[in-house]
Structure formats: C-alpha cells, structure tokens
Amino acid sequence: MKIKTAMTTAHRAQADGQTERQNRTLEDSLRCSISYHGNDWNEHLPMVEYAHATLVSSSSKLSPFFVYTGRHPKNPLGRAESDQPVARSRVEYASRFVQHRQEVIERARKNLLDAQEAQKKFYDRRRAANPFKVGDLALLSTQDLNISHATAETTLRSRKLIPRFIGPYPILELHGNVALLDLPANLKHISPRFNIDKLKVYNSNLIASSVV
C-alpha cells in the first residue's frame, strides 16, 4: 500500500487539520442524532459509521469503504447490486479481485494527487516567502502555548495580559517552513519545532525587551 509515517507540528491546520476536521464531523453527526440526555449515543454509531464510510470524498472521488474493500457496501434498505460478473473459478475470482483492488487504489491515488496539486496552488498564492534563515533571532507566538509555558519568562498569570510573543530565540535549523528554536531551560519540556507562521522577525532596533 506504500503507507509511510509522517511527523507533523502541533497547532498546524495544514498538517493535521484533516484528521481534526473529520473527528469534528463525526462528533457533529452524533450530536444531531442522540437524545436530549445523550445516553443513547452508542445506538447511533452504526448509522454514523455507515454514513461516513459511504460518503464520497471530494478529493479521492471515492468513498472510504470502496477504497478499503474495492466494493460498495450493502444498502440496509435493499439488496446490494454488483456490476461485476460472477467468476467461474477461485483463481479467476482472486485474479479479478487483485486487479480490481489495484485499479481502485490507483484511481484514488491519482484523484488525491490532483486534489493536492490544486490545493497547493491555492495555498501558494497566499503564502509569503520565508523571511528566516539559520542563525536569525525569532519571536515565538504565545497563542497556542500552555499558559504556564507562555508566562515562563514573566510574572503574569493571566491569558489576557500575557505578551503575544516571547523571545527572541535563535533558529538552529530550518526544514521547509518548520524551524528548530534554541529554547531556554525553562521551556525545554516543550517541542522546539514550530511552523514559521508562529514566529515573528526580531528587530533589535525596535524591540529592546526580551518579552513583547
């Protein structure tokens, strides 16, 4: 299947937003189905699962069930119809099954690549050039940081009053749009990798304080 593990950065919709969006869709489906007291949610799982499995993806142009099994699921309200002729032997059935699965996977892969290319072109039109290079000093946004992390270098403990950016911190490495920061000891327990949209160029002529 050529499936590979890919690491992502936290709080980055372009990285793990699809999974989060899918989870939210399933939650919304259950929320609309359960009773007022919410104690019958498990009774609605089969219906929600069926609806999700048969929903055609706008990217792959196929349903998850069809990509996974190579066939459409049985309709709960009627008999399933198949456009596949009946195989005359097990060998013929196995050969036809393998060929059909390969065709489905290739079709889904091609549709996904086409969708990714279209999404990339749309994203690149709004994307600014990377203003950072290794060795630069960068300010880190506190928007997605835990309150204890965001206030590690201040005496403030209110989310509304903490600075929007902290730092600056040296950039040790750059991998595409992901920067590795040299964080101080009191921030070593969080991941030092951040997307550049969470960073701000540090200008020593304009910013005298280490916290802004």
First to last CA, the chain: 48
Mean pLDDT of 71-80: 65
Read off the pLDDT of each residue in 58-80 and give the average, rounded to a whole number.
75
- Domain-embedded: residue 112: yes
Per-residue pLDDT band at 79 (split at 50, 70, 90): low
User: Domain check: are 119 and 164 in the same one?
Assistant: no
Q: What angle, rounded to 10 degrees, do the helices at 13-33 and 45-54 form?
A: 130
Q: What percent of the chain has pLDDT over 90?
A: 14
38/95 same-domain check:
yes
Looking at the fold, whether 21 and 108 belong to one and the same domain comes out as: yes
Nearest Cα to 34, choosing from 23, 25, 45, 22?
A: 45
Q: Tell whether 17 and 113 lie within a shared domain.
A: yes
Instruction: Name the domain boundary from 126, 149, 172.
Output: 126
pLDDT at 140: 92
Q: How many Cβ atoms sit within 10 Å of the Cβ of residue 63?
A: 18
Residues 45, 47, 53, 57, CA torsion sign:
negative
Report the domain count for the chain: 2
Distance CA 119, CA 164 (A): 30
3-state DSSP helix/strand/coil percent for the chain, to nearest 5?
40, 15, 45
Residue 157: φ, ψ to 5°: -135, 15
Residue-level pLDDT at 171: 96
Provide the 10 A C-beta neighbour count for residue 202. 19
Q: Are residues 174 and 150 in the same domain?
A: yes
The answer to whether residue 117 sits within a structural domain is yes
Residue 210: what pLDDT?
45
The tens digit of pLDDT for each residue in 169-187 reads 999 999 988 999 999 888 8
Interval 141-156 mean pLDDT: 70
Look up the domain containing 88 and give its range: 13-126
